[in-house]
Structure 1
């Protein structure tokens, strides 16, 4: 999409009314590379429920195969809520630094306690750079995939390894209980 076309969409009154914060990044040829946006509800939800955030980038959801990134959390009813969204050109350090900085700008530089992401090493490295006091964790799905991929040999011949590992991940509420 051309810069002018996007600028027209972003300047429409209906868009400005719905999305109170948006930002896009241009390359040296003035082409849009990255886009980020939040609406009022996302800002309010982040204030109330943003202690733990997940950022996920999903491929193949658009014809250009660009990463669609969504900042997510849970409300007090365990319902999924959105804190922000991005459409990135690629998954480079520069794109992630831009999106994390822009996310913080939208949310008044209010970084939270923990953020969960997928296992992309470049994403983890940029989080440490941008959100200095925020802990980074991997999503359970990624952890289980890695266990199966790298420790699959321990799951042969009626082994209890996988069930024991799942118990370690899901059946303990706190560190003290886990260590017993």
Structure 2
């Protein structure tokens, strides 16, 4: 990406022209597409550079198709691609951060927001149920088998709550985000 609007970055029109001359057509289209992240001067110079390159309608359509594909991929990763049952169990029972950090970092790096939130949810609930089970065991003198059973059974309400409330809440947030993004994109087309 190129130089977004920032109070510390001041470029002259000549510097912008030199910089934008080196950019690919796709990068220039991204500047125009995300015009609210750039100064009016930066956008106008990007438009002038695009005009001088005589960008075809096919190039613009290809860019739009790639942007739509990005949105579709984002939605797929955050609505239909949630943690599978084995992964949910992994984070519930192996909640210790040093052990599951690598998994969560992979989700973060790959922009799997729903999976990351679910992993954090199951780790937190697993930890809380583990501590609660320990406290109950100390108070009521439960043996290890009963304590372990309580911890295992605690996964069931955590799973049901996640499926019924957490996931639906996430999906609704993403739908709102997608609807506003879709409306913005339609406005850009006009």
TM bin (shorter chain): under 0.3
TM-score scaled by structure 1? Answer: 0.23
> When you count strand as a share of all residues, which structure comes out higher?
1
Higher RCO, 1 vs 2 (CA within 8 Å, ≥6 residues apart): 2
> When you count helix as a share of all residues, which structure comes out higher?
2
TM-score scaled by structure 2? Answer: 0.22
